[in-house]
Structure 1
Amino acid sequence: MMNYLLVWLLVLVTGIAHAQPVLRYSDTSQLVEIGSYAQYFEDKTNQLTHQQVAGLPTGQFLNNSDKILNLGFSTSRIWLKFTIQNQTPEPLYAILEAQDIDLIDAYVVGADTTYFLETGGLRPFENRYFGVNSTVLYLGRQPRQIYIALKDINGLVLPLKVGAIQPLMRKVYGETLINAFVIGVMVLITLFGFFMFLSLGDRTYLLYALHVLFSTLTLLSFEGYLSDLLWREMPYMNNSINSSLIRLSTLLTSIAFSIAFLNLREMLPQIYRAFLGMGGLAIVILVAKLIGVQEAEMLFNISVLLTFLAFLAVGFWLYRRGFRPARFYLLGWGIYIVEVLLVILTIFNLLSFDHFFTYYGYQIGAVFQATLLTFALMDRINTLRQEARDAQDLAIRRMEENEKLVAEQNRLLEKELQQEKSNPNGELQQLLKAIREEREKVRKIPIATMEGVLLFPVSDIVRVEAMGSYANVFFTNRQKLMASRSLAEFEQQLSEHDNFFKVHKSHLVNLNYITKYVRGEGGVLFMEDGSEVDVARRVKPDFLRKMGLDN
């Protein structure tokens, strides 16, 4: 008797555990999230038909307790089963809020409609109930059970809602407006970047424009607009290879832009190499994904997040070091990373997709990032222009001083020639030598800038620092100027001046403005403008001889 009761209790508990929760829809003004009403079955063969799945015993299906369906990464086809009772007179619809799912098979069984539909990103666009990017299923007025099969190489995180036509259209219309606004802003920013590149010839703007372009394509891919707008007749273009290549291009262009904008190759060569390594790692992970490594998608997402966090850390460090345009760079990446983290938290069911800032996380992050990086680039232009104006003011002051010096020298020369000469040739030669030395101090060189070609006295230059194909020139008044020529060109231009010496591959210094030298492997120079310059080990012997310190 006791054994019989135990068996009966076991059967009862098992039946309750596998009982199908029933969704009862009653409010025609709302869309209802139905993830927690789902049961799921993994078809590892990928060959079961919808009739075979519908005929499976209830015990083959597992209950899903989460509000948002999070089915992870699987090569199998996942079947979802719902039981629905419509308590309103209106027909019902189901909307799948992940628009980029590869394959969707829907089997609707009801009192007034029963049908099977094959749709999804890799299926003909005409298979969709509504001719829009969103996937919508018609359930009829009296649906009983719904079977939905899903398969996607990028993982399955699926908000799924049911409702009447009015809230459904409100949802689709609202999403379309928000996406249209975001895409419009990003297209305008992309065009701005290309225009600035053509106007200034600075490849930083080209890399920026390409990054925003691929970010836009990523959004279009996620939201299903690429198939809607570009290739309705070519569903095979929605394959995971294209989607992954678009996301990889977004990451690689962000790395290239950050390297150029922050001048990492010259200022932080080790960080520059680390960023190149991150890009190479992302490429390797993508290749692994394409050859079927199941964990590669998650690894790719982790590598993207770590790269973006590295952008934030490096930008903050450079901002603390005085690189003013990094403030908008920090804000742009900061907001973007926060939104990415919110999306990741929703994937792990720690936050709900119902919130505006999580459901539209990528759109918010992308548009703020693109906008604030635009501000960063404009701030960079303003900074360069202000530096050019300051340097031009210095050049004008030096020109006035030069004119006064020439006038004074002429006066002294006339006075000397009018006096009695006990040794005219010797005194005259000394005077002429003094004049030549003073004139050498105000001798000028042309420096090409964004504002044009400016003339500066050589004696005002404290040091020249490499900035890729550009160079920063630092003056005695603690102003600096970005010149449109490389350090190698400056080195050649200043070669006839003995007081300039290239102490490092990135620095050319005026020896007259060195205040202190600290010995070391190469050594460190302290300059009059307060800067510190490393001396390369390979040039240390020549530098010491030049300074007379080799003894």
Structure 2
Amino acid sequence: MGAYARHYEDTTSRLTHYQVSRLPDSFFGSIPDKVINLGFTPSRIWLKWNVQNQTNEPVYAILEAQDIDYVDAYVVGGDTTYFLETGVLRSYQNRHFSINSIVLYLGRHPKHLYIALKDMNGLVLPIKLGAIRPMVQKVYRETMINSFVVGVMALIALFSFFMYVTLRDRTFLLYTLHVIFSALTLLTFEGYLFDLLWQDMPYMNNGVNSSLIRLCTLLTSIAFSVAFLNIGTVRPHLAQLYKGVGVLAIGVVLAKIIGFQQAEMVFNLVVLVTFLSFLVVGVWMYRHGFRPARFYLLGWGIYIIEILLLMLTLFNVITFDHTFTYYGYQIGAVCQATLLTFAVIDRINSLRDNVSQAQELAIKRLAENQQLIEHHNDVLESQLQQVQPAPSESLQQMLKAIRDERVRVKKIPVPTLESVLLFTADDIVRIEAMGSYTTIHFTNRKELVASRSMAEFEQVLQEHDHFFKVHKSHLVNLNYITRYRRGDGGTLMMTDGSEVDVARRVKADFLRKMGLES
């Protein structure tokens, strides 16, 4: 209905609907666009339509901007005439239908429609006229789209919080908060918070809550980006600059709260410049080998494009009547949330790959050091034996102690699904076969699943003579046996409280090893 409207600016905000209806048509200016865009103004704007219904059905006007502070409607018709005061700062009960959008009943024979608007934010108003059936279909479609978007964001927030609790990675917590505030921003724009949470408290829609929610969305996006891209370490001066941007955004929102009219436009520009800087920094990080930045760039890229389109509609550069502007925030929010989730997961995988490579290198160097120590010990033994062809008993005991200590402190690599861990043989109580995997039981009663077979562990532990395979599925440390219970093969009681069966075929060897032969 935008192109059919005429508008009048009431700078005093005091004219009544009756006074406006008596003004001559020459006082009203035309609106060239399909979507009414009146920009940022402190005045109350009156819109006027001359309406003629050529159908046999009652018609309705639906205002598709759900967050306008004050809406005064004056309907003049052959079968209905009334004045209605509504908007988000007025009682929810004044609405014709209890939905997030404002609907005006025009009756079967409308003649004139006057609507007055006043809002501390930009006045962009898509308004449509139609019968009840297409109006209900439109409301239903928008509700389904918004429900889907909020549902996706809620699942992503839950998943991110679960990852934070599991991994204790601060990046996931910051991302969870960012997704939550992005969803709250959408719910605020679409009027669902008023509809669902505080119908009896219209003062909650005074613009302060909306500004604070959007401020938190910006601040959490800054904190998340700084943590995700590791800006504090790579570019500490840039991290300080982002802190300054956050302080600036807080100051702008405070200025808006105290009544500075242009603060809304300044805040939108701060948001846009900040988001564009995320793209620039992301490109720089990706070019320097930070692989997870690819999903980060895609997520922010789509989101920023949609935000830019919305801002261009506020400045009346493009129209509001196509999908990518009308559903711009929904499209940008769901794409950003999804792709940034991929980015965070990819970051975790990348860090794990780096840790795994570092561990493999450390294990390689450890093995080289052990070989060097063993070589030095062999040289020392040979030299001592050359000096004393018949070593004394004390010298033999010393050499044996050196060999035993070397075996005792030698690290055993335990590969897991995520990395390779190192333990000494004395840390292990028993090893239990589990197909091609094994479960390692430690002295502190902890367990670890290793991606190595029992046969491989047998080979690794072959020089540790205090390990014995008592069963095809059990390799035990003889030092941690507390009791042997006789039977067909027998049962071992271990220090960790477990019981391990001894196979009948190895019973004799086991008793001989333990010195329990009868």
Q: TM-score range by the shorter chain?
A: 0.7 to 0.9
Residue 45 of structure 1 corresponds to: 12
Residue 317 of structure 1 corresponds to: 284
TM-score by length of 2: 0.74
1:73 maps onto 2:43 in alignment:
no
Letter in 1 for 2:283: F
Report Cα offsets for 1:282-336 as digits up to 9, x if no partner.
1111122122222111111011000000111011101111111111111111010
Report Cα offsets for 1:249-274 as digits up to 9, x if no partner.
11011111111111211210111111
Distance 1:70 1:451 in 2: 56
Residue 107 of structure 2 corresponds to: 140
Residue 493 of structure 2 corresponds to: none
Distance 1:450 1:334 in 2: 34
1:226 maps onto 2:193 in alignment:
yes
In structure 1, which of residues 200, 211, 229 is the aligned counterpart of residue 178 of structure 2? 211
C-alpha displacement at 1:203, in angstroms? 1.7
Distance 1:260 1:377 in 2: 11
C-alpha displacement at 1:48, in angstroms? 1.4
1:266 maps onto 2:233 in alignment:
yes
Distance 1:98 1:420 in 2: 98
In structure 1, which of residues 126, 130, 140 is the aligned counterpart of residue 93 of structure 2? 126
CA contact (8 A) 2:356 2:419 kept: no
Report Cα offsets for 1:483-530 as digits up to 9, x if no partner.
xxxxxxxxxxxxxxxxxxxxxxxxxxxxxxxxxxxxxxxxxxxxxxxx
Letter in 1 for 2:186: L
C-alpha displacement at 1:402, in angstroms? 3.6
TM-score by length of 1: 0.70
C-alpha displacement at 1:453, in angstroms? 9.3
Letter in 1 for 2:133: Q
In structure 2, which of residues 56, 66, 71 is the aligned counterpart of residue 104 of structure 1? 71
CA contact (8 A) 1:77 1:151 kept: yes
CA contact (8 A) 1:315 1:330 kept: yes
SS in 2 for 1:304: helix
Distance 1:284 1:391 in 2: 45
Report Cα offsets for 1:427-485 as digits up to 9, x if no partner.
xxxxx9xx9xxx9xx999xxxx99689569xxxxxxxxxxxxxxxxxxxxxxxxxxxxx
Superposition map of 1:185-334 within 5 A: 185-334=152-301
SS in 2 for 1:294: coil
- Larger-gyration structure (1/2): 2
C-alpha displacement at 1:222, in angstroms? 0.1
Distance 2:150 2:349 in 1: 27
Bigger shift: 349-358 or 269-278?
A: 349-358
Letter in 2 for 1:221: T
C-alpha displacement at 1:177, in angstroms? 0.5
SS in 1 for 2:164: helix
Letter in 2 for 1:369: Q
1:36 maps onto 2:3 in alignment:
yes
Residue 405 of structure 1 corresponds to: 372
Distance 2:419 2:368 in 1: 22
In structure 2, which of residues 358, 361, 364 is the aligned counterpart of residue 391 of structure 1? 358
SS in 2 for 1:419: helix
Aligned residues: 406
In structure 1, which of residues 163, 167, 170 is the aligned counterpart of residue 137 of structure 2? 170
C-alpha displacement at 1:143, in angstroms? 0.6
C-alpha displacement at 1:51, in angstroms? 0.9
C-alpha displacement at 1:114, in angstroms? 0.7
Superposition map of 1:351-362 within 5 A: 351-362=318-329
Distance 1:264 1:397 in 2: 32
Residue 182 of structure 1 corresponds to: 149
SS in 2 for 1:85: coil
SS in 2 for 1:415: helix
Report Cα offsets for 1:380-432 as digits up to 9, x if no partner.
111122222222322333343344333322322222123258xxxxxxxxxx9
Letter in 2 for 1:99: Q
Q: Which runs of 5+ in 2 are unaligned?
A: 389-398, 424-518
C-alpha displacement at 1:351, in angstroms? 2.8
CA contact (8 A) 1:388 1:450 kept: no
Report Cα offsets for 1:28-62 as digits up to 9, x if no partner.
xxxxxx11111111112212111111111222211
Residue 368 of structure 1 corresponds to: 335
CA contact (8 A) 1:75 1:151 kept: yes
Q: Which runs of 5+ in 1 are unaligned?
A: 1-33, 422-431, 457-551
Residue 57 of structure 2 corresponds to: 90
Residue 416 of structure 1 corresponds to: 383
Letter in 2 for 1:124: S
C-alpha displacement at 1:345, in angstroms? 2.4
Distance 2:118 2:192 in 1: 19
Distance 2:275 2:250 in 1: 16
Distance 1:407 1:285 in 2: 69
Paired-residue identity, %? 65
Letter in 2 for 1:160: I
- Dislocated runs of 4+, deviation >3 Å: 449-456
Residue 116 of structure 1 corresponds to: 83
Distance 1:205 1:222 in 2: 26
SS in 2 for 1:276: helix
Letter in 2 for 1:411: D
Q: CA RMSD in A?
A: 2.6
Distance 2:417 2:218 in 1: 30
CA contact (8 A) 1:259 1:272 kept: yes
C-alpha displacement at 1:131, in angstroms? 0.7
SS in 2 for 1:112: coil
Distance 2:267 2:234 in 1: 28
Distance 1:352 1:61 in 2: 22
CA contact (8 A) 1:395 1:455 kept: no
Letter in 2 for 1:179: N
CA contact (8 A) 1:95 1:161 kept: yes
C-alpha displacement at 1:111, in angstroms? 0.7
Residue 307 of structure 2 corresponds to: 340
Bigger shift: 271-280 or 172-181?
A: 271-280
CA contact (8 A) 2:13 2:43 kept: yes
Residue 120 of structure 2 corresponds to: 153
Distance 1:170 1:284 in 2: 42
